[in-house]
A and B are shown apart, each in its own frame.
Chain A
Amino acid sequence: MVPADLRYTSDHEWVRIDGDLATVGITAYAAEQLGDIVFVELPDVGRMLDQFATFGVVESVKAVSDLFAPLGGEVTATNPGLAASPESVNGDPYGDGWMIQLRIADPTQLGELLDAAAYDDLVAAG
């Protein structure tokens, strides 16, 4: 069971809502599928993102994947710890492995995301 308080995309990003701020990362399932993560490329603070736009790249020993923004908005912070410790995406995907924080442009976009149960079903369906 994935954390119940988060929302999810079908591309395996999670988002945690705190007022008008949204914190974004990738799910434990995505991290496990990618394998050992060696590099995360993140956007500059201040960049405006559309919902589901590419915001970065995650690179593991065997694959490289684009990262998609669950919500539109301005990037207000990126995780400074990932440059030195990208492996925290594997070790603590919902905590130390967070990637970016956004100022939410349009809260109604939340309706297009999956809740925990729906995401669990998605993963279970493979």
Chain B
Amino acid sequence: MPYGPHTASDRERMLAALGLTSVDELFDDIPSAMRASPLDLPPPQPELELAARLDALSRRNRTDLASFLGAGVYRHWSPPAVDQLLLRGEWYTAYTPYQPEVSQGTLQSIYEYESLLAELVDLDVVSASHYDGAAATAEAALMTCRATRRERVLISRGVHPHYRGTVATYFEGGLELQEIPLVADGDAAGTTDLAALERLLADRDRPVAGVIAAQPDFLGLLEPMPRIAELAHAAGALFVAVVEPVSLAVLAPPGAYGADIAAGEGQPLGIAPQYGGPYLGILASTDALVRQIPGRLVGMTTDLDGQRAFVMTMRAREQDIRRDKAASNICTNQALLALAASIYLATIGPHGLRDVAALGASRAADLERALAAAGAPRLHPGPYLNEFAVRVPDAPAVHARLLDRGVLAGLVLADAEPADLSLRDGLLVCATEVTTAAEIDRFAAALATELASVGSGAR
């Protein structure tokens, strides 16, 4: 099938049919101040020179590091079968299969994605799919406003700061977003402040549409999700759980503690960490909210001959039909990434996923002991799964010097949460099943050396 860009004469004919003289006239409706200014790009380069330049750039990647960075993106072992199957040409097709008669394979793959994720989150409906966890969380927040006809949403500061930023952007149109603080000290330090939540919910003049909390939270801590759900529901609000999918193999799923909506980042399911994505937004809800959930829903039915068939269902909520009144005009389907998640889950199975989660927790416990012995104790006392914050004097500088020693010592919390002074000396570190004992030893030894030099005043 021939496929190529339009020729100059194609463009002239189309402009003539429209009665226009230039392509720019098509954009007259957009104020000139909002249009992209000319891009400052270098002139074209010969392929050989370009390849050499890209090769030089790629050498700036550090692949020698022992990495303890998580903070929303997690390294996991992906069986080679996942990428091998994913690379098959048959999958490189329209990402939204509007014609069931020619798209049964793609539709079945989406149906299987939805079925697998529904089992994992223990909710009725999963849509396929969204850009990333942040976009899925923002869509979940909008769902609560549509379903309750209320305009105020409470989001815990335990939700990833990027996600909170994305929800705030989506809410700029006039909806109200308020943050629930975290407990400052004591046993529950670093988790959602339930007393503050109760106070925020008690304002009867400004009823709350939804409450959003993350499990585990951004600091790796386990939240009292059943209690947050109870408080939200008692105020007539819906409860959104932001989850990390691998953790659901060992933690209670959102459906078990009364969440109405689950959102999360699907990257840990067979998708390698990549700078800027592409990633996979997971969004799921109870059956009661099925008409509010944006994105594609695929259903199983029978065709005229009584054979099993897959179709897009409840299409009428979507933008090709409802246009400006669609459930969302922002969401997309990350079909290939959803497929990667499906192949990953089907390949390792429920027991494999449990092993991945449990092994990560076990490695993280080893990491906690090693770092404490090196002089970096935990910042919070509460339970965690495979990620936690440690206290390191002069954390940003120590983090930079550890990088020179070949250790990526997690995330500098002062960079991620500059307003939270309790995190000023914090590093957020994580371990997964791919973290080795040797890497943990390397981190602990390098840290002990750095802390000793800080302690002696030497720099």
Binding site for B on A (CB under 8 A): 39, 41, 59-64, 66
Contacts and interface: CB of A to CB of B under 8 A. Distances in A.
Nearest to B323: A64
B326 to A, nearest CB: 9
Contacts of A63: 316, 321
Contacts, number: 17
Given A39-B291, A41-B291, 8 more contacts: A59-B316, A60-B316, A62-B316, A63-B321, A64-B317, A64-B321, A64-B322, A64-B325
Contacts of B291: 39, 41, 59
A91 to B, nearest CB: 20
A116 B316 CA distance: 31
Interface in B296-353: 316-317, 321-322, 325
A62 B312 CA distance: 12
A39 B290 CA distance: 11
A59 B317 CA distance: 8
Interface of B: 291, 316-317, 321-322, 325
Contacts of A41: 291
A74 B322 CA distance: 28
Q: Which residue, of B316, B317, B321, B322, has the highest number of chain A Cβ atoms within 10 A?
A: B316
Contacts of A66: 325
A62 B317 CA distance: 10
Contacts of B317: 59, 64
Given A39-B291, A41-B291, A61 B316 contact: yes
Nearest to A66: B325
Nearest to B149: A44
Nearest to A47: B149
Contacts of A62: 316, 321
Q: Which 10 A-B pairs have the closest CB atoms?
A: A64-B316, A59-B316, A64-B322, A63-B316, A63-B321, A64-B321, A39-B291, A64-B317, A60-B316, A62-B316
A106 to B, nearest CB: 25
A60 B322 CA distance: 12
Contacts of B325: 64, 66
A43 to B, nearest CB: 9
A61 B316 CA distance: 7
B137 to A, nearest CB: 25
Contacts of A39: 291
Contacts of B321: 62-64
Contacts of A64: 316-317, 321-322, 325
A96 B321 CA distance: 28
Contacts of A60: 316
Counting chain B CB atoms within 10 Å of each CB, the highest count among A61, A62, A63, A64 belongs to A64
17 contacts: A39-B291, A41-B291, A59-B291, A59-B316, A59-B317, A60-B316, A61-B316, A62-B316, A62-B321, A63-B316, A63-B321, A64-B316, A64-B317, A64-B321, A64-B322, A64-B325, A66-B325
Nearest to A61: B316
A39 B322 CA distance: 15
A64 B325 CA distance: 9
B335 to A, nearest CB: 24
Nearest to A62: B316
B146 to A, nearest CB: 10
A41 B322 CA distance: 15
A55 to B, nearest CB: 12
Nearest to A34: B316
A39 B291 CA distance: 9
A59 B322 CA distance: 10
